Amino acid sequence: MKKILITGGAGFIGSNLALKLIDKGYRITIIDSLSEQIHGPKSVITSPLYKTVKDKVIFIQASVNSKPDLIKAISDNEIIVHLAAETGTGQSMCQIERYTNVNVTGTAVLLDILVNHKHNVEKLLVASSRAVYGEGKYFSDEYGIVYPELRTSEFMGKGDFEVKYPGCSSPLSQMPTDENSMLHPSSVYGITKLHQEQMVMTVCKAIKLPSVALRYQNVYGPGQSLTNPYTGILSIFSTQIKNGNAINVFEDGKESRDFVFIDDVVDATIMSIESPNANYQIFNVGTGIPINILTVAKTLINLYNRKVPVFISGNYRLGDIRHNIADMSKIINLLGFYPRVTFEEGIKLFTQWVNNQAIQKDNFLNSIEEMKTKGLFQ
* Burial of 156 (C-beta count, 10 Å sphere; 0-12/13-18/19+): buried
Contact by Cβ (8 Å): 234, 31: no
- Spatial CB neighbours of 249, under 8 Å, sequence gap ≥ 6: 293, 294, 297, 310, 311, 312, 313
Question: How far is residue 130's CA from residue 273's CA, in Å, rounded to a whole number?
Answer: 20
Tell me the longest C-alpha to C-alpha distance in the chain: 60
Sign of CA dihedral 326, 332, 337, 342: positive
Exposure string over 264-291, b if 16+ CB within 10 A, otherwise e = bbbbbbbbbbeeeebeebbbbbbbbbbb
Our CA dihedral for 51, 55, 61, 67, rounded to 10 degrees, sits at -140
Backbone phi, psi, residue 260, to 5°: -125, 130
Backbone phi, psi, residue 328, to 5°: -100, 10
Question: How far is residue 103's CA from residue 371's CA, in Å, rounded to a whole number?
Answer: 21
6 forms beta bridges with: 30, 81
The catalytic position among 50, 133, 189, 220 is: 189
* Terminal-to-terminal C-alpha distance of the chain: 52
What single string gives the DSSP state of each residue in 180-220? TS----SSHHHHHHHHHHHHHHHHHHHTT--EEEEEE-EEE
Is 280 a catalytic site residue?
no
List active site positions: 189
